[in-house]
Every structure is written in structure tokens, then in C-alpha cells.
């Protein structure tokens, strides 16, 4: 597959990179990513993936746009309030790059549909805001052998982790069990700075592009924690757990399973604490 003149012009700043070039751009054009959540993390991530020329994007979100979303969920505008997020995201991404095929998936990810929705994509980017979805995405990706980029944000910071099945710690390796009810404040209680979501969402897109291109060192076995107040990044080493229920030596999870007690967001300090206690 050769690049058209329009594609050469659109992606010219990437094409000059030795790590990308024509072959790398063709690889991106032939790739597919499922973005779970068209919110604060999924918005910047999806925009950068479409802009980079990822050939096919699925945007999965069962929610509708609320006015309180707009300070951080930059895929949507004021006129979109009340509309399905997946639909408004699809329109914005198509306007940015008409060459990228955008599939709007306005439904909730469940243990019943997870395999079907995820199996058709090369990589999954999880920008969801609750633990049941995070565990469900992680477990399904591990069962299907799909690369996963995880992110979380709340208040002024958050965290990111890249998971390549059987090559590093998965989300469940780091956080074997969801937090107890009430242990983590909700987004409404804790708040979030929109630009912090932009930082983490952009980092997640960057990780996804590295995996798709096969370049650089993805965040495998390294949970990156962002402290937005201090403008500092730090790494928490995490190791694959041989006793992990989904990717360990004797797994007990063989099909996607639902996790109870939805909780919105996870502060970076909680992520670092869990990770340091895990291994």
C-alpha cells in the first residue's frame, strides 16, 4: 500500500521520523484501536490516535454528554449536551481525519459482550472511570491476548500502565481486588483538573502508538504516576504476579466476569500505594 499525496502531506511530520517513515505510517493505517470511554482520558487519546492516522477507531461509551463533562472531555462541545458521547466523538474524529474509520459504540461493556466488542481490534485503550470496567477490559484483553493501555486520573494527577499479555504485569497483577466501597472518593467528591486528564490521555495515546509501531520502550512493568501539583512523573516498578487470577500460572478466570461495586476514579497516591504493596 502506497501513500497518497494527501496522506504524505497530512502525516509529513511523522514520516520524517526514522522510527516511523512510510512503512510505519502504513502500519498505523492498517491498525485498529478500541477506545473504552469517551471522557477525560479517551477524548485526548482518541484525537491523537485519529490525527496520527490509526486506520480504524472504535469509541465505546454508554453515557451522554453533560455540561459538567466539558471542562475535560474535549471531544464534545456545548451543543452536544444530552447526546450520546460515542456519537459526538465519532463526528469530531471524522471531522479531524476523514480517512480514519470511526465506529461509535453506544452501549455498556459487560461480561456478555466484552469478547465480541474487543476481539476485532489490535489494541485497547482503557479510559474508563470505574473499576468494574477496568477489570473487565483487563481480563478480556488478557484472555484474548490483546495489548492494553490503562490510565486513570483524578484531582491533579493520575497513572498509566501498558500491558502486553504474558510480557508484564496486568492491571489485576497490580490491583488484585477492587477497593472497598467508599475507600476511593467519586469524581464528584474528589474533583479533577481537565488539563491533568489531557496529560494522561496524551501519554496513553503515545503508548498506544509506540506499541502499534513497535518502537521505543512501552510502560511494561512500570506504573507511571503523575503528580500534577508538583509537575513530576515517577515510576513504580510492578511485576507480573504468578498467582494472578487471569494471567498467572494457574488462572482461575477463563471468561470475562463482572466485578461489583463501581467506583469512579483512583487518586495517584492510592495507585502508588497499591502498587508498592503488591510487589
pLDDT tens-digit profile, the chain (279 residues): 699 999 999 999 999 999 999 999 999 999 999 999 999 999 999 999 999 999 999 999 999 999 999 999 999 999 999 999 999 999 999 999 999 999 999 999 999 999 999 999 999 999 998 899 999 999 999 999 999 999 999 999 999 999 999 899 999 999 998 877 666 666 667 899 999 999 999 999 999 999 999 999 999 999 999 999 999 999 999 999 999 999 999 999 999 998 865 444 444 444 443 443 433
Grid cell at residue 52: 496520527
130 in a structural domain: yes
The CA distances from residue 20 to 11, 31, 186, 210, in Å, are 10, 14, 40, 10
- State the Cα–Cα distance between residues 178 and 166, nearest whole angstrom: 22
pLDDT (tens digit, 9 = 90+) per residue, 19-63? Answer: 999 999 999 999 999 999 999 999 999 999 999 999 999 999 999
154 in a structural domain: yes
For 217, other C-beta atoms within 10 Å of its C-beta total: 8
3 in a structural domain: no
53 in a structural domain: yes
Domain that holds residue 274: 14-278
Q: What is the CATH number of the domain that holds 114?
A: 3.40.50.720
Q: Name the domain count of the chain.
A: 1
Supply the pLDDT for residue 179: 76
9 in a structural domain: no
Q: Could you tell me if 148 and 139 are in contact, meaning their C-beta atoms sit under 8 angstroms apart?
A: no
- State the Cα–Cα distance between residues 110 and 255, nearest whole angstrom: 12
- State the Cα–Cα distance between residues 103 and 56, nearest whole angstrom: 8
pTM of the model: 0.92
- State the Cα–Cα distance between residues 127 and 36, nearest whole angstrom: 6
8 in a structural domain: no
DSSP helix/strand/coil, 142: helix
Supply the pLDDT for residue 208: 98
Supply the pLDDT for residue 261: 52
194 in a structural domain: yes
| Contacting residues for 54 by C-beta, under 8 A, at least 6 apart | 28, 29, 31, 32, 33, 100, 209, 212
Decide the pairing of beta strands 101-105 and 32-36.
unpaired
Supply the pLDDT for residue 87: 98
Supply the pLDDT for residue 268: 43
Q: Could you tell me if 227 and 156 are in contact, meaning their C-beta atoms sit under 8 angstroms apart?
A: yes
5 in a structural domain: no
Handedness of CA 171, 177, 183, 186 (dihedral sign): positive
- State the Cα–Cα distance between residues 122 and 144, nearest whole angstrom: 10
Supply the pLDDT for residue 45: 98
Amino acid at each position: 500500500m502506497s501513500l497518497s499525496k494527501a496522506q504524505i502531506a497530512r502525516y509529513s511530520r511523522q514520516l520524517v521520523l526514522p522510527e516511523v517513515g512510510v512503512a510505519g505510517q502504513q502500519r498505523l493505517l492498517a491498525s485498529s484501536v478500541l477506545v473504552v470511554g469517551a471522557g477525560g482520558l479517551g477524548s485526548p487519546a482518541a484525537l491523537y490516535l485519529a490525527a496520527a492516522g490509526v486506520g480504524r477507531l472504535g469509541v465505546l461509551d454508554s453515557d451522554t454528554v453533560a455540561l459538567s463533562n466539558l471542562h475535560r472531555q474535549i471531544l464534545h462541545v456545548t451543543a452536544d449536551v444530552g447526546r450520546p458521547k460515542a456519537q459526538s466523538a465519532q463526528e469530531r474524529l471524522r471531522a479531524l481525519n476523514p480517512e480514519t474509520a470511526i465506529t461509535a459504540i453506544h452501549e455498556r461493556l459487560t461480561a456478555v459482550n466484552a469478547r465480541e466488542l474487543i476481539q476485532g481490534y489490535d489494541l485497547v485503550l482503557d479510559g474508563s472511570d470505574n473499576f468494574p470496567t477496568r477489570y473487565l477490559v483487563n481480563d478480556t484483553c488478557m484472555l484474548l491476548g490483546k495489548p492494553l493501555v490503562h490510565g486513570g486520573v483524578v484531582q491533579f494527577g493520575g497513572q498509566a500502565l501498558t500491558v502486553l499479555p504474558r510480557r508484564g504485569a496486568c492491571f489485576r497483577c497490580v490491583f488484585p481486588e477492587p477497593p472497598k466501597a467508599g475507600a476511593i472518593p467519586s469524581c464528584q467528591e474528589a474533583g479533577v483538573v481537565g488539563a491533568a486528564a489531557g496529560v494522561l490521555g496524551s501519554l496513553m495515546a503515545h503508548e498506544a502508538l509506540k506499541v502499534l509501531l513497535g518502537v521505543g520502550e512501552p510502560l511494561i512493568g512500570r506504573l507511571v504516576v503523575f503528580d500534577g501539583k508538583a509537575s513530576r512523573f515517577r515510576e513504580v516498578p510492578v511485576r507480573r504476579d504468578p498467582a494472578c487470577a487471569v494471567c498467572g500460572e494457574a488462572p482461575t478466570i477463563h471468561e470475562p466476569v463482572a466485578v461489583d461495586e463501581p467506583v469512579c476514579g483512583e487518586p495517584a497516591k492510592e495507585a502508588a500505594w497499591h502498587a508498592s504493596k503488591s510487589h
